[in-house]
Amino acid sequence: MQQNKSTNARIMHTMRLILTCLPLLYAPVAGATDLALTSPVTRAPAAIAGPVEAAFLSNYDGDTITVRAWIWPRQSIETGVRLAGIDAPELRGRCEAEKQAARDARDRLHALLAQAKRIELHDIELDKYGGRVLARVVADGQDMAAALVGEGHARPYAGDTRKGWCD
């Protein structure tokens, strides 16, 4: 019985200490405020400069790929990425020449990325259609958009009206 009284006394003493010190855990430290209680809601940035390391998974066409982006240590997301600054021919193009050019662009982009040792995403922002991001894709130090334009598989594109690929 004496042991129970002693145990109960220690528990009560510990509880009083906790209740006495609890307000101190939420008090401002050296002039700082408790961010959880006083700061406004923080919004996600509209763009991320990067680089964000990524692993190439696949590509749909000459300017759209799927990657696994390593956003935190040991944490990744799988997302679609539209290569910024270019327009590649469409696989569902209006003429056979555009469809063939689209297959060539798709295959060339795949070859460049499949052999890359390091892929990075730069200047990342949401794509205008949502569900994917718009980014500069750099593989082993080479900008993929510039490579495709340089080889004639894509054209520079600044968001204006898209030009056709058929004569």
Strand, coil or helix: 52: strand
Chain mean position to CA 6: 57
pLDDT in tens, 69-87: 998 888 999 999 999 999 9
Which residues, other chains included, contact 13 with Cβ-Cβ below 8 Å and sequence gap of 6+?
A: none
Torsion of CA 121, 123, 126, 128, to 10 degrees: -110
Q: What is the pLDDT of residues 84-138, one digit of tens each?
A: 999 999 999 889 999 999 999 999 999 999 999 999 999 999 888 778 899 999 9
Position 2 scores a pLDDT of 56
Whether the full predicted model's pTM is greater than 0.85, yes or no, is: no
Measure the CA–CA gap between 130 and 28, rounded to whole angstroms: 40
Please give the pLDDT value at position 117.
96
Both tokens of residue 102? 């689209």
